[in-house]
Amino acid sequence: MAVANIITDYTGRQRDLLINLGLDPKSSKTQPVSLGFGPMSSACAGIQKLVQRYMVLLMTGLGTQPAFPSAGSEFASSLLPGRNFSRTGLTHDFNFANADILRLMQAEQSLTRRPPDEQISSAYLSSVDVVGDRVSLNIRVVSYAGENVDFLLPLAI
């Protein structure tokens, strides 16, 4: 579902670096995410920033950051090669990781004053596709502003 109200004025909003290249918040279709800093840096705020934060924390391995052992999830480590991947198994792993990420983000949100469209309300896995050496996760993120964003996260396994 596309973002209902497009806020073009981000005056006063804190910005993050955009790494979701090619993501169009106006589109109502599920869009694949391609990560990178791009040839020229650009900033983002609002729902796009929220999606980024969610993705970064989901794919950061738990305990891989010195002095920040609680940051991240165990989802990335579950994608190690050699495992027998199935939709059920991936959904199971994702749900556990998702719960950890939501808890982490909501705890941080309670200590800061973020705009509603930058606060996560929930996230869940819409579908999983396993094709050859790639797994595609169709994830929906819902903000406190009521906006949903569906994005496709393709991962190599």
The residues of the shown chain that bind another protein, judged by CB under 8 A, are 12-19, 45, 49, 52-54, 56-57, 60, 65-66, 68, 71, 104-105, 108, 112
CB of 70 to another protein, least distance (A): 10
For the chain, how big is the Rg over CA atoms in Å?
16
CB of 130 to another protein, least distance (A): 27
Q: List the structure tokens of 11.
A: 């005056």
Choose between 114 and 140: whose C-beta lies nearer to another protein: 114
Spatial strand order of the sheet with 134-143 comes to 31-32, 148-156, 134-143, 120-131
Q: List the structure tokens of 32.
A: 């694949």
Choose between 128 and 149: whose C-beta lies nearer to another protein: 149
CB of 19 to another protein, least distance (A): 5
Q: List the structure tokens of 47.
A: 């729902």
d(CA 15, CA 128): 31
Choose between 28 and 64: whose C-beta lies nearer to another protein: 64
